[in-house]
Amino acid sequence: MKCTVCNYNSSSMDYADLGGHFIDMASESDADHIMWLNRFITKSKTGRQDLANMLREFFELNESGLKRWIINRFVSNFFSEPPHLFIGAMQSPERKVLLGYVVEHHHFLKQWIKSCAYVIAKTDNEDVQMYEMENIMAEMHGFGSKTPSHHELLLRMGESLGLPRETVLMSEPLPATRKAIELWGNLSRNSHWIEIMAAMHSLELIATRGLEKYGAKYSYFDPAIFQRSDIPNEVKDFLREGYDADASHSDEALNLIEKYSDEYGDIQAIQATFIRSMVAFDSYLNARLERGEQYENEL
């Protein structure tokens, strides 16, 4: 059983063992474990066996499968009512929100390609390697002048809003972004490649269209943005690229994860690693808003 908060990983497949770990950490007043239990499981003090049953229910796939479990958890976290604060702000984004997006996402993408490279290095499955190589090219290199990279479009969005690319490139990530990047780096170095894929590519669900069929109450942003005359074309180009690409990217990645998950054998480890990444991503999205507040009166 793998913990969704720390590096604890028991060889036992007994949820009582995982529950005992959480109880032990709570008794030591470990804030991260307590907050996770309060957020996802229960806010009430619970005995070891009852907590084990709750954890078993949390991780239960039923007939839906791993892919659907990941999507359901992601939608519940970011697109339910009320939505994540950043999602709410993106429904009609102010300039400061987009500026914060540019700077913190720059640092996210630098880690993203490293994580993709770790997947390539850790598997011999050619379909997975080809998928990750395409991701690296699309995110940071591009495919010629007519198809610039996601990173280049991000920098152009910043420039259109008055933020020089040199300022972005010379910036340091905010603490929440830095902490998330450190987590993703550690996961990439120390985890199985399927877990790395679950940690990173599940995050592409944030810009995926069609999540309303999974219960989403919101989309990443209101597509009416594309018709607004007050939104620079460079902003529209960046948002449209992710809006068009991430749907297929996330779906293909989740299909690959599900395809090879039985071969890996430890479904709960994949789930736990995804949850750790999702929680870090939640904080990182808040860092975009924090950065935007800093820029509100500076540019």
Question: One digit per residue, pLDDT tens: the chain, 299 residues?
Answer: 999 999 999 888 889 999 999 999 999 999 999 999 999 999 998 999 999 999 999 999 988 899 999 999 999 999 999 999 999 999 999 999 999 999 999 999 999 999 999 999 999 999 999 999 999 999 988 787 778 999 999 999 999 999 999 999 999 999 999 999 999 999 999 999 999 999 999 999 999 888 999 999 999 999 999 999 999 999 999 998 877 665 566 889 999 999 999 899 999 999 999 999 999 999 999 999 999 999 877 76
Note the pLDDT tens digit of each residue in 102-131: 999 999 999 999 999 999 999 999 999 999
Tokens 């659907």 belong to residue: 68
- H or E stretch at 135: helix 126-136
* 3-class DSSP state of 83: coil
Q: Compute how many other C-beta atoms are within 10 angstroms of the C-beta atom of residue 27.
A: 10
The residue type found at 168 is V
Residue pair 18/48 in contact (Cβ under 8 Å)? The answer is: no
What is the rounded CA–CA span in Å between residue 185 and residue 111?
Answer: 7
What is the rounded CA–CA span in Å between residue 80 and residue 220?
Answer: 12
The residue type found at 199 is A
What is the rounded CA–CA span in Å between residue 150 and residue 155?
Answer: 9
Q: Residues 6 or more apart from 60 whose CB is under 8 A from it?
A: none
What is the rounded CA–CA span in Å between residue 101 and residue 155?
Answer: 11
Verify cis geometry, omega within 30 degrees of 0, for the bond prior to 164. no
Q: Residues 6 or more apart from 160 whose CB is under 8 A from it?
A: 232, 233, 234, 235
Note the pLDDT tens digit of each residue in 134-186: 999 999 887 877 789 999 999 999 999 999 999 999 999 999 999 999 999 99
* 3-class DSSP state of 28: coil
Burial label, 66 (beta-carbon count in 10 A; 0-12, 13-18, 19+):
buried
Q: Residues 6 or more apart from 219 whose CB is under 8 A from it?
A: 79, 209, 211, 212
Burial label, 142 (beta-carbon count in 10 A; 0-12, 13-18, 19+):
middle
What is the rounded CA–CA span in Å between residue 41 and residue 211?
Answer: 24
